[in-house]
Amino acid sequence: MSNTSVVTETKLDEINIVANTDVQTFVDLRSDTVTHPTRAMREAMLTCAVGDDVMGDDPTVNELECATAELLNKEAALFVPSGTMSNLIAVMVHCQTRGSEVILGDQSHISLYEQGGISTIGGVHPRTVKNAEDGTLPLEEIERLIRTENVHFPVTRLVCLENTHNACGGRVLSMEYVEKVAALCRKHNLALHMDGARIWNAAQVLKLPVAKLVEAVDTVSVCLSKGLGAPVGSLLVGPKAFIAAARRIRKVLGGGMRQAGVLAACGLVALRDMRERVTEDHIRARRIADALAVHKSVKLNPDTVDSNIVFFELDPAHTTLTASSLVSKLNEGHKVLIMALGPMRCRIVTHYMIDDAKVDTAIRALLETLDAHAK
Ligand SMILES: *Cc1c(COP(=O)(O)O)cnc(C)c1O
C-alpha cells in the first residue's frame, strides 16, 4: 500500500513538473480558464468512485451536485460540461416555448460569447439592455423592455444577470441590486437567472456567503473551471422540478456524461480548497492595475478593478502600440500572455497559478514595452 502511494507521488510530480514546463516559462494572464488541475484534484481523480451518470449511478457526481445545491441553498443542481451549456439549458427551461423573450445585458457572456445559442438552438429571442459600466442593467430599462400582451410581440419570460461581470471588467453586483431586480421580476411574473460563472469571486469581494448572493434569484449557473482551477465543469442550480427538466435538455444537447466522477472529484476539491484563496487573485489584479494606471499610454481606473479581471485601453495619442501588437510583443519578448479584446483594448486575468513573482515579471514586461513605444 505504501509502495503504491510512493509510485503515485512520483507520477504526479512528473505530471506537474515535467509535462508542464510551459508553466514555469510563461506568465499566462489570458484567462482564469488556463489553470491546470491541482495536485489534490489529480489525486482525487485517481481515487474517486464512479458510475454511469446518465443512469444516475455516479456517486461522485451526485455528491458534487448535492454539495453545490447545499452551498447555494437551493433544492438541486446539475453537473454540465460548460458554462455555455449551463446558461443555454437555463434559458431553454425558463422560456419553454419558442417565441419567448429574455432580457439580458448587451455585454453579457450569453449575449456576446455563446454563439447566440439561445436563439439558434433554444428558439428564444434576446432583448438586450445596455450594461452600465458596473455590470448592472438599469432597473427602469429592464422594466421598459418587458412586453405587454400584444399579438405582435414575443412573450417576456426571463431576465439574466451576470456576477461577477466578465466583459465589464470583473465587476461585482451588490446583493441589494440583485434583490431589486428580483422584486421587479416577481412583480411582472418573470424568472431570474444568474450567470454566476465567477460568483465565488463576488462572494469573496462582498465577504458574504455565496448562498446570500443568490438568495433572490431562481436559478444560478456556476463554473468550476475558472478561478477555482478545476479542469472541466459547471453546475446549474435551482428548484427540483427545474433541474429535472434541465437534465432532459442536457441529454438532447449531448451533455450527458458517463463516468464523470473523475471530473466531479476535481470539482469537489475546487469547492473545498479554492474558493477562499481567490482574494489573492484580486489583490494581484489590483497590483497590476495600479502599476498600469499611472502610465500615460494606458487608460484605466484601478478603482473599477473589483476582482481578478483587469481591462485597459491603449491611448493612441500616447502610444504607437495597438492591442494586438502589444500582445505579440509581450509574448515574443517576455513570454507574458495577455488577451486583445478590441483594437486598443486588452484584458489581464489573474488566477491561482499566478504568484507574486509572476506579477512582478508581468508588470516589468508591460511597463518596458509601453515605455519603448510611447509617444
Ligand atoms: C466563461 C464564462 C461562461 C461560459 O463558460 P464556458 O465553460 O467557457 O462555456 C459563462 N459566463 C461567464 C460570465 C463566463 O465568464
| Cα four-point dihedral sign 108, 113, 118, 119 | positive
| 195 C-alpha to ligand 1 centroid (Å) | 8
Q: What is the pLDDT of residue 358?
A: 95
CA distance 241 to 74: 12
User: For the domain 12-37+276-372, what is the CATH code?
Assistant: 3.90.1150.10
| Cα four-point dihedral sign 256, 260, 263, 265 | positive
Average pLDDT, the chain: 94
CATH 3.40.640.10 residue spans of the chain: 39-272
Q: What is the pLDDT of residue 97?
A: 77
- Atom index in ligand 1 nearest the CA of residue 83 equals 5
Over residues 34-41, mean pLDDT: 92
| 83 C-alpha to ligand 1 centroid (Å) | 5
Q: State if residue 369 touches ligand 1 by the CB under 6 angstroms criterion.
A: no
Q: State if residue 210 touches ligand 1 by the CB under 6 angstroms criterion.
A: no
Q: Which helix (H) or strand (E) segment is 313 a member of?
A: strand 309-314
Judge whether 119 and 113 are in contact, CB under 8 Å: no
The x, y and z cell numbers of residue 244, run together, are: 429535472
CA distance 67 to 224: 13
Picking from 49-58, 96-105, 248-257, 321-330, which range would have the lowest pLDDT averaged per residue?
96-105
**Nearest protein CA to atom 14 of ligand 1, as residue:** 197
Nearest to 338 by CA among 373, 303, 363, 375: 363
Cα distances from 86 to residues 117, 289, 296, in angstroms, run 11, 31, 41
Picking from 4-13, 54-63, 98-107, which range would have the lowest pLDDT averaged per residue?
4-13
Q: What is the pLDDT of residue 326?
A: 98
Place 20 in a pLDDT band, splitting at 50, 70 and 90.
Answer: low
| Cα four-point dihedral sign 44, 48, 54, 57 | negative
Q: What is the pLDDT of residue 288?
A: 98
Confidence check: pLDDT of 18 > 60: no
CA distance 188 to 318: 49
Place 4 in a pLDDT band, splitting at 50, 70 and 90.
Answer: very low
Q: State if residue 307 touches ligand 1 by the CB under 6 angstroms criterion.
A: no
Tell which one of 109, 121, 219 to mutate to probe ligand 1, the residue whose CB is within 8 A of the most ligand atoms: 109
CATH 3.90.1150.10 residue spans of the chain: 12-37+276-372
DSSP string, 115-142: TTHHHHTT--EEEEEPPPTTS---HHHH
- How do beta strands 336-337 and 27-28 pair? parallel
Place 19 in a pLDDT band, splitting at 50, 70 and 90.
Answer: low
CA distance 89 to 337: 33
CA distance 62 to 51: 10
| 227 C-alpha to ligand 1 centroid (Å) | 11
Fold of 39-272: Aspartate Aminotransferase; domain 2 (3.40.640)
CA distance 19 to 29: 20
pLDDT in tens, 87-119: 999 999 999 978 899 999 999 999 999 999 999
Place 7 in a pLDDT band, splitting at 50, 70 and 90.
Answer: very low
Omega prior to 164 cis, within 30 of 0: yes
Nearest to 51 by CA among 257, 192, 191: 257
Confidence check: pLDDT of 69 > 80: yes
Judge whether 165 and 132 are in contact, CB under 8 Å: no
Judge whether 56 and 258 are in contact, CB under 8 Å: no
Q: What is the pLDDT of residue 22?
A: 73
The x, y and z cell numbers of residue 321, run together, are: 502600440
pLDDT in tens, 313-329: 999 999 999 999 999 99
Nearest to 159 by CA among 200, 192, 195: 192
SS3 263: helix
Judge whether 241 and 251 are in contact, CB under 8 Å: no
| 53 C-alpha to ligand 1 centroid (Å) | 23
